[in-house]
Amino acid sequence: MADWQKDVAGAEIWQQFAATMLMVHGGVAMLALLLLGALIPVHVLRAWRTRKNRVSGLVMAAFNAVLIVTAFGLYYLGSDAVRPWTSWIHLGAGFSLSLMLPVHVWLGRHEPR
């Protein structure tokens, strides 16, 4: 949102705010990658073996993979032709993932045993 405000009055403040938020986002993303790495042996493999909540788990894994790939593309590839598409896909995957997480937890807790 701050990025879209860069062309209005007080653009310098929005520019600085956008840069700060991007750094915070990157730091939180690194922590999320650390947690994802820990989830694989502790949570994902165990749930997969017990055949529990596989569909929503696969959807969660797929959306996390999309976030990782698009983040890599946004940070390292930076093509002017591909960047807008990559950005929108990244935004959509991130918002979708935040909506899917509570659903995945709810399904896991309410799945018949």
Question: What is the rounded CA–CA span in Å between residue 81 and residue 54?
Answer: 36
| pLDDT tens-digit readout, 38-96 | 999 999 999 999 988 999 999 999 999 999 999 999 888 878 888 889 989 999 999 99
Query: For residue 37, what pLDDT is reported?
Result: 94
Query: For residue 91, what pLDDT is reported?
Result: 93
| pLDDT tens-digit readout, 11-20 | 777 788 888 9
| Banded pLDDT at 9 (limits 50, 70, 90) | low
**pTM (two decimals):** 0.81
- DSSP per position, 83-101: HHHHHHHHHHHHHHHHHHH
CA distances from 38 to 41, 43, 62, 81 (A): 6, 8, 17, 35
